[in-house]
Amino acid sequence: MRVRGLLPPVDGQRPRSCPVAAAPSASRPTGVRVLLYLIPIGFIVFYLPTTVGEPREEDKSSSRPGSTVKATTRTRQCIGFLIQLATASGEEGPLSLAAISTRTGISRRYLEQLAILLKNAGLIVGVTGRRGGYMLARNAEDITIHDIVTAASGPVSFAGCVADSMGCMSAEYCQCRPLWMLIDHEIEKVLNAHRLDELVDRSRLDALRARANGLPRRADASSPWTDRTAPEIARGGG
């Protein structure tokens, strides 16, 4: 493509026009433009159908308050933290995080986070000084498992909508809500019925273990156990 330009005047004549080469086009090659059009189309066709309607990662998390009754890693480690303090109560005095880390295998950095949760819940107190550390804020028999679970993971709820009724538009008409509320009540009753001292006193712990071992085994896909005993399974008995 060529355009008309102007030549400088000669001997007083009028400027003359001349052809001048045009600058090369800056447009992208055809293949690149096609690719740019196909990328968003492929996203819509292949990616969106597999993600729309799926729970977000934070919704899948079992540690989100008011969404599950699963004992999270944080809950279990908080209980382990308090067991060490209860065991040392009256004998060793305050325990340092370094000592607790050695006994439990939990990193000191993570124990610091757990200590903040337990301290904010009024379950432990910090002691400063050369032989400082942490100790229980009250007697082990006055600390329920429910206290520990809620301190570690928030309110316990079988269905998150029960803990957040204002966020459910169908709470008044939901047919399942009464059932979820009854389940929550039973779970809280069990958690409040057991206390930290049961996990520290050897005889009470043995009694608790014997009671748990007497329960029927769950027959689900995640466990090979059924209501049959181990010898019966080994023999192939029904």
Gap between the Cα atoms of 156 and 183, Å rounded? 11
- What local confidence, expressed as pLDDT, does residue 165 receive? 64
Contact 149, 156 (CB under 8 A): yes
The pTM of the full predicted model, rounded to 2 decimals, is: 0.62
Gap between the Cα atoms of 94 and 97, Å rounded? 10
88 inside domain? yes
**Over residues 105-131, mean pLDDT:** 91
- What local confidence, expressed as pLDDT, does residue 147 receive? 95
CATH value at residue 198: 1.10.10.10
Domains in the chain: how many in total? 1
8 inside domain? no
Domain that holds residue 109: 73-164+192-207
Bridge-based pairing of strands 124-127 and 16-21 is unpaired
229 inside domain? no
Could you read off the pLDDT of 124-136 as tens digits, one per residue?
999 888 888 999 9
Helical H segments across 160-219, by residue range: 160-163, 177-193, 202-213
